């Protein structure tokens, strides 16, 4: 829940720099989630196959967040939070 919550909170900010800060927090939350998945697997709360699938999805989300962060922090690109250009 923390990853999407931070993205939504960040999208309400006034500048790309502020939005980028929340994207960084979301990336950190995704890393934390990956650790929780490892612990869950290690204590056998989830099956290894479930861990593999969920971990791969978490890595994919983290890659997408890094791409968004790069776009937000690239000089010369004028993107405002809630800008429809974020999806293009």
- Retrieve residue 46's tokens: 């989830």
Low-confidence ranges of the chain (pLDDT < 70): 79-88
Global pTM value: 0.83
Measure CA of the first residue to CA of the last residue in the chain; give whole Å. 25
pLDDT at 76: 78
Residue 9 · residue 26 · CB < 8 Å: no
- CATH ID of 2-73, from 1.20.1440.60, 3.90.950.20, 3.30.2270.10, 1.10.287.1080: 1.20.1440.60
């Amino acid at each position: 829940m923390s990853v999407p919550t931070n993205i939504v909170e960040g999208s309400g900010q006034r500048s790309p720099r502020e939005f980028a800060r929340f994207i960084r927090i979301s990336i950190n939350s995704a890393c934390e989630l990956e650790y929780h998945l490892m612990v869950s697997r290690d204590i056998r709360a989830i099956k290894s196959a479930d861990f593999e699938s969920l971990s791969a999805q978490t890595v994919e989300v983290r890659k997408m967040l890094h791409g968004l962060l790069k776009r937000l922090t690239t000089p010369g690109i004028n993107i405002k939070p809630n800008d429809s250009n974020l999806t293009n």
